[in-house]
Amino acid sequence: MLTVDVCFSPELLHLYNLQGRVVVVVDILRATSSMVTAFAHGVEKMVPVSKLQECMAYRKKGFLTAAERDGQKAEGFDLGNSPFSYMEESIKGKAVAITTTNGTQAIRLSISADTVVIGSFLNISAVAKFVQMQQKSVIIVCAAWKGKFNLEDTLFAGALIEKLGSEFEPENDSTLAATVLWDAAKADRRAFLNNSSHVKRLARLDITKDVDFCLQEDVYDAVPVWQGAYLT
Ligand code: 3SL
């Protein structure tokens, strides 16, 4: 039997057994949406890291460096965490080291899974197809915000569960909760998220354009997968 489970925060990951599973990591606003955009626009590989210093060290190896903390581009790095910065011609064929407040930590904490895939609304149908092809149980890991539940990653989880269909049995109540929330939100996900904390945080930083972009569905087919040292 194939199952689907949702982990609402990386802080809860110790409760999950990742072995033998596919993990879909999601940080809708904005890390995984930016990564998917980067690959769709020709980035060759990405290495997600936890610390700013670690990320900067990749510059010597010829990587572009990308860093975000608390929604803002960290000083001294080539890129921040806006999907729009990955649409430039100049990133084609490049290797990028990236660190973000939550998304890259969630990826690093998931790499003991059989397969780690990067999910977003931008590539959700391609991710669903990829997961179905693996014929393994799946855990959707929400990046959340500093360990706390967030709505946008949970809505993605509900939407992906819907796309995976009845072949995947819900494993526990977080799966049911994600489904209920997605059912309530899907008619207008943007309006549903209006009062969510990270949408308000990004609005204070004047980054609503990124929010609107990241909530679009099936813009790209790219499915970044962890290959042991890099996402490709
Ligand atoms: O937390 C993260 O990983 C980021 O995606 C947050 S932000 O949208 O860049 O603020």
Does ligand 1 come within 6 angstroms of the Cβ of 32?
no
> Token pair for residue 68?
């975000």
The pLDDT assigned to 18 comes to: 97
115-119 sheet: strands from edge to edge: 115-119, 22-26, 138-142, 2-7, 168-170
Does ligand 1 come within 6 angstroms of the Cβ of 102?
yes
Sign of the C-alpha dihedral computed for residues 133, 139, 142 and 143 taken in this order: negative
Q: Which residue out of 25, 30, 110, 122 has the highest number of ligand 1 atoms within 8 Å of its CB and is therefore the one to mutate?
A: 30
Helix (H) or strand (E) holding 68: strand 64-69
Percent of the chain whose pLDDT exceeds 90: 100
CA 178 → CA 147, 161, 167, 173, 213, distances in Å? 17, 8, 17, 9, 22
CA of 82, closest atom in ligand 1: 9
- For residue 154, the domain's CATH number is 3.90.1560.10
Does ligand 1 come within 6 angstroms of the Cβ of 81?
yes
Q: Please, are residues 44 and 224 in contact by the beta-carbon 8 Å criterion? A: no
Angle CA 223–149–118, to nearest 5: 5
CA of 101, closest atom in ligand 1: 1
Q: What's the CA-to-centroid distance between 100 and ligand 1, angstroms?
A: 6
Judge whether 71 lies within some domain.
yes
Judge whether 226 lies within some domain.
no
Judge whether 228 lies within some domain.
no
Q: What's the CA-to-centroid distance between 2 and ligand 1, angstroms?
A: 31
Any idea of the CA torsion for 199, 37, 115, 231, to the nearest 10 degrees? Answer: -120
Judge whether 224 lies within some domain.
no
Give the contacts of 64 (CB within 8 A, at least 6 positions apart): 78, 79, 91, 94, 95, 96, 97
Instruction: Give the mean pLDDT of 121-147.
Output: 98
Q: Please, are residues 24 and 119 in contact by the beta-carbon 8 Å criterion? A: yes
Percent of the chain whose pLDDT exceeds 70: 100
Instruction: Give the mean pLDDT of 196-200.
Output: 97
Judge whether 183 lies within some domain.
yes
CA 71 → CA 12, 117, 138, 178, 180, distances in Å? 23, 23, 29, 25, 28
Does ligand 1 come within 6 angstroms of the Cβ of 210?
no
- What total of structural domains would you count in the chain? 1
Judge whether 227 lies within some domain.
no
CA of 106, closest atom in ligand 1: 3
Judge whether 232 lies within some domain.
no
Q: What's the CA-to-centroid distance between 71 and ligand 1, angstroms?
A: 6
Judge whether 73 lies within some domain.
yes
Query: pLDDT tens for residues 52-77?
Result: 999 999 999 999 999 999 999 999 99
Average pLDDT, the chain: 97
Domain span including residue 90:
2-214
Give the contacts of 110 (CB within 8 A, at least 6 positions apart): 13, 18, 23, 25, 116, 141, 226
Split at pLDDT 50, 70, 90, the class of 133 is very high
Q: Please, are residues 228 and 115 in contact by the beta-carbon 8 Å criterion? A: no
- Calpha distance 148→144 (Å, rounded): 6
Closest Cα partner for 129 from 172, 94, 157, 164?
164
Does ligand 1 come within 6 angstroms of the Cβ of 80?
no
